[in-house]
Structure 1
Amino acid sequence: MSKIYRLLFVAGSTLLAIGACREAAMQQSIPNGQIERESVTAVKNGQGGVRWYSKDQISLGAAVFSQNCAECHGIKAEGIVENWRRRLEDGSFPAPPLNGTAHSWHHPTSMLLQVINYGGAPYGGNMPSFETVLEDKEKLASIAYFQNFWTDEIYAQWERMGGTN
């Protein structure tokens, strides 16, 4: 196994362990550990599909994301660095794109909320904690906003992987 694959394996294992430790705390943010699915069709650039969020959540999320996230993740969650996998000079990782082109769709909502609540330091990043900065509905709205950029294929894969947990 090459050095990069070992490093990725160790990093992934560490993320899973951290996520497991914080799962109990996140259950308080998501009733019954699940997002309540709204019967809403979210439409983005001609894409359609039933998703867990509403158009109102996307609108709120756009404002929340613009004020709190866009500086590092890009206004349309596209990221602001060429290679989000390459460490910065300080040894940390830059903020990844959240628009479906990186790895955010590999993580369930509970883990996305963990990162929002506790910041990126446990994962090698510099993202600050928003636990006391944003209300729960704003956190979910920011997730709705960036997930609205995901293709239907990426969103469906995220759901199959247990994304709404």
Structure 2
Amino acid sequence: MAFYRFPTILLLLSLAACSKQPTTSPRDALDRILGNPEHEKVVVRNFDPAQIERGRIIFQQNCAGCHGEYAQGTADWRKPLDNGRYPPPPLNGTAHGWHHSTEELKQFILKGGPPGEGRMPGWEGILQDQEIDDVLVWIKSLWPDEIYHGWYTRIENR
């Protein structure tokens, strides 16, 4: 009779072992697919302080009227206006600007954007490429380290 109990005990032990497997959250799955920034090499920002300052000045002169002096955006930027468009979002790392690559952000500045969502005008022919690059560096300098790191490892450097 002891011979017949062994497979039953083995089955119960294997079921118990399976039930102790850790559950995978959607966040864990995303980190496994895209990489977990907490376990990756630290991303160092090597921004030129002079470029940051140029970007700040250009932003103040051209962008602050809509996005705020410190790129803090407008109140209720997530709520559509009466015309269905959204007000200017923060660009300081507290909104979705970091969801876009540098090239996408540059195109939004040049062409306006994104179509149908906001009312940002295009700056092509008004701002030079270097000025736009300077503004983008200033904006990225405002992002908290964890936002910059996540943006760089998951968006910019894919």
1:145 corresponds in structure 2 to 138
For 1:60, the aligned partner's letter is R
The TM-score, its normalising length taken from structure 2, stands at 0.69
2:86 corresponds in structure 1 to 93
Over the residues paired in the alignment, what is the CA RMSD in angstroms? 1.6
- Cα distance in 2 between the residues matched to 1:128 and 1:59: 24
Aligned residues: 116
Structure 2: unaligned runs, 5 residues or longer: 1-42
The TM-score, its normalising length taken from structure 1, stands at 0.66
**Correspondence list, 1:8-157, <5 A:** 50-51=44-45, 53-81=47-75, 83-120=76-113, 122-157=115-150
Deviation at 1:125, TM superposition (A): 0.7
- Cα distance in 2 between the residues matched to 1:103 and 1:57: 23
- Cα distance in 2 between the residues matched to 1:57 and 1:123: 32
Is the contact between residue 99 and residue 155 of structure 2 (CA under 8 Å) also seen in structure 1?
no
Compared with structure 1, are the counterparts of its residues 164 and 137 closer, same or farther at alpha carbon in structure 2 (3 Å cutoff)? Answer: farther
Cα deviation, 1:67-107, whole Å, max 9, x if unaligned, reads 111011111101122x2111111211111000000001111
Cα deviation, 1:127-152, whole Å, max 9, x if unaligned, reads 11011110111001111111111111
1:31 corresponds in structure 2 to none
For 1:71, the aligned partner's letter is G
Moved over 6 A (4+): none
Deviation at 1:123, TM superposition (A): 4.6
Give identity over the alignment, percent.
44
2:17 corresponds in structure 1 to none
Cα deviation, 1:14-38, whole Å, max 9, x if unaligned, reads xxxxxxxxxxxxxxxxxxxxxxxxx
Q: Report the structure, 1 or 2, having the larger helix content.
A: 2
Secondary structure in 1 matching 2:142? coil
- Cα distance in 1 between the residues matched to 2:87 and 2:50: 30
* Bigger-Rg structure (1/2): 2
